[in-house]
Chain A
Amino acid sequence: MSAVTCELCPRGCTIPEGAAGDCRVRVNLGGKLRATTYGRPSAIHIDPMEKKPLYHFHPGSPVFSIATAGCNLHCLNCQNWQLSQRGGEEMEEIYRLDPPDLVRAAQGEGCRSIAYTYSDPIVFYEYVYDSSELAHREGLANVFITAAYINQKPLRRLCRVLDAANADLKAFDDGFYRRVNAATLQPVLDALVTLKEEGVWLEVTNLVIPTLNDDLALIRRMARWIRDALGADTPLHFSRFQPQYRLRNLPPTPGETLDRARREALDAGLRYVYVGNVLGHEGNSTYCPSDGTLLIRRVGFLIAENRLTADGRCPTCNQVIPGVWQ
């Protein structure tokens, strides 16, 4: 029986018959690659949009969130490793939710969006694409929460059915990607540019891990790249690391580190820089870049106050705040 080469992500796994790709869920059976988790999520939740995190996309709305087993990255700090680092056949919980059922379930729960999230949805690409196409026909939005380790052709095709994405930029350092995520940096940067070019609303998350990627010079370089390649209006979320999986030896990110990272990114010219995973932090809220007015006050994942005008402007200076607000 013949081997196949997967061309979905930059790994380009060559998979012999009866084996899986590095992601564990794309399997060569009979000389053809099979998407074994199509329509078979192992995680289903209704989350606030802020949990993704997407702060400039339908704020405060519930989003129907799903994931299947498997992932094409192997992050030492993965917070969903019980899901992402297992194949479908290893999962105890598998739900049968083909695209029409998924869209109906989201509508039934009063959600206006579906999020493909938790593990990396790249590995259940076909399920995402078909569901998203159907969701669009039914007036729902699609959000893609990803590490963006995907090849250009499949990504460009997927962008046709995506409305928003939050992409992890794990560090502006190829060595970090190799050591901590078993991946490489350049394809991720290319994917972020493509998401932007294709008109998908894009926010970027950087998880700040003490001693591994918290160097301010590195953060400055990353912020400048985002400003130049994606635009100064691209929201950037600095997220607090919590020790887990294979990085339990490191402490949680100190608040001062996150403050310094945020200041660095603002100084680099980014207009919307957030701090996540720190309850009550001022960097969790949205401010007008022109006059500093507090526009959206968040407490955790909750919207405590939203002062944006209906068409997404600052109520005091009329500055347009980029995002998808309606």
Chain B
Amino acid sequence: MASVRVMTRTLKHLHRRELGFLGLIGLTGLLIALQLASGLEGLGMPEGGWRTIDRAALERRIESGDLRDLEAEWFRPSIGGEGTGRGPGPGNRP
């Protein structure tokens, strides 16, 4: 009986003093779960995106001849863009 009283008192104490902290932990857990879920969703999504690259490294290697800056085929300016890509279709490559 005494132990039940101690437990109840502890819970009330927790309720008063630590509720905010527990809430914060819960919220953090929720945010982590949402983040993981969005990451997994991305993993399964085939839709196209793009990737940031080390542009300086790319340009260095193009300059040295390790890589090329040859115009590709099969592209077009994105809607609303200002590009002048010819795609889709064969490019004016050598």
Q: Which residues of A contact B (CB under 8 A)?
A: 1-16, 18-22, 24, 26-29, 31-40, 87-90, 94, 96, 125-126, 130, 151, 153-154, 157, 177-179, 182-184
- Please give, as numbers and ranges, the residues of chain A lying within 8 Å of B66 by CB-CB distance: 40, 88, 94, 96
Chain B contact surface mostly: loop
Q: Which of B5-13, B19-27, B31-39, B81-89 contacts A (4 or more CB under 8 A)?
A: B81-89
Tell me, rounded to whole Å, the shortest Cβ–Cβ distance linking B15 to chain A.
43
Q: Which residues of B contact A (CB under 8 A)?
A: 43-55, 57-58, 60-62, 65-79, 81-85, 87-88, 90-91, 93
- Please give, as numbers and ranges, the residues of chain B lying within 8 Å of A33 by CB-CB distance: 71-72, 74-75, 85, 87
Tell me, rounded to whole Å, the shortest Cβ–Cβ distance linking A70 to chain B.
10
The answer to whether B45 and A89 have CB atoms under 8 Å apart is no
The answer to whether A36 and B67 have CB atoms under 8 Å apart is yes
Q: Complex Cα distance A34/B14, Å? A: 62
Q: Complex Cα distance A14/B76, Å? A: 9
Q: Which of B50, B58, B68, B93 contacts A15 (CB 8 A)?
A: B50
The answer to whether A88 and B83 have CB atoms under 8 Å apart is no
Q: Which of B50, B57, B69, B73 contacts A19 (CB 8 A)?
A: B50
Q: Complex Cα distance A35/B70, Å? A: 5
The answer to whether A179 and B77 have CB atoms under 8 Å apart is no
The answer to whether A126 and B93 have CB atoms under 8 Å apart is yes
The answer to whether B76 and A5 have CB atoms under 8 Å apart is yes
Q: Which of B45, B49, B88 contacts A154 (CB 8 A)?
A: B88
The answer to whether B67 and A88 have CB atoms under 8 Å apart is yes
The answer to whether A32 and B53 have CB atoms under 8 Å apart is no
Q: Complex Cα distance A18/B59, Å? A: 10
The answer to whether B74 and A34 have CB atoms under 8 Å apart is no
- Please give, as numbers and ranges, the residues of chain A lying within 8 Å of B50 by CB-CB distance: 13-16, 19-22, 28
The answer to whether A31 and B77 have CB atoms under 8 Å apart is yes
Q: Complex Cα distance A7/B71, Å? A: 14
Chain B's closest residue to A95 (CB) is B66
Chain A's closest residue to B87 (CB) is A7
The answer to whether A34 and B71 have CB atoms under 8 Å apart is yes
Tell me, rounded to whole Å, the shortest Cβ–Cβ distance linking B83 to chain A.
4
* Contacts A11-B47, A184-B46; A3 near B78 (Cβ below 8 A): yes
The answer to whether A182 and B55 have CB atoms under 8 Å apart is no
Q: Please, could you name 6 A-B residue pairs with CB atoms under 8 Å apart, sorted by A?
A: A3-B78, A19-B50, A24-B53, A35-B70, A36-B67, A183-B46
Chain B's closest residue to A130 (CB) is B93
The answer to whether B76 and A4 have CB atoms under 8 Å apart is yes
* Contacts A24-B51, A34-B71; A4 near B93 (Cβ below 8 A): no
The answer to whether A36 and B68 have CB atoms under 8 Å apart is yes
The answer to whether A7 and B74 have CB atoms under 8 Å apart is yes
Tell me, rounded to whole Å, the shortest Cβ–Cβ distance linking B87 to chain A.
6
- Please give, as numbers and ranges, the residues of chain A lying within 8 Å of B78 by CB-CB distance: 2-5, 14
Q: Complex Cα distance A31/B81, Å? A: 9
Q: Which of A3, A27, A151 contacts B74 (CB 8 A)?
A: A151
Tell me, rounded to whole Å, the shortest Cβ–Cβ distance linking B48 to chain A.
3
Tell me, rounded to whole Å, the shortest Cβ–Cβ distance linking B30 to chain A.
25
Considering residues A2, A4, A87, which has the most beta carbons from chain B within 10 angstroms of its beta carbon?
Answer: A4
Q: Complex Cα distance A12/B77, Å? A: 12
* Contacts A40-B68, A89-B57; A12 near B74 (Cβ below 8 A): no
The answer to whether A38 and B73 have CB atoms under 8 Å apart is no
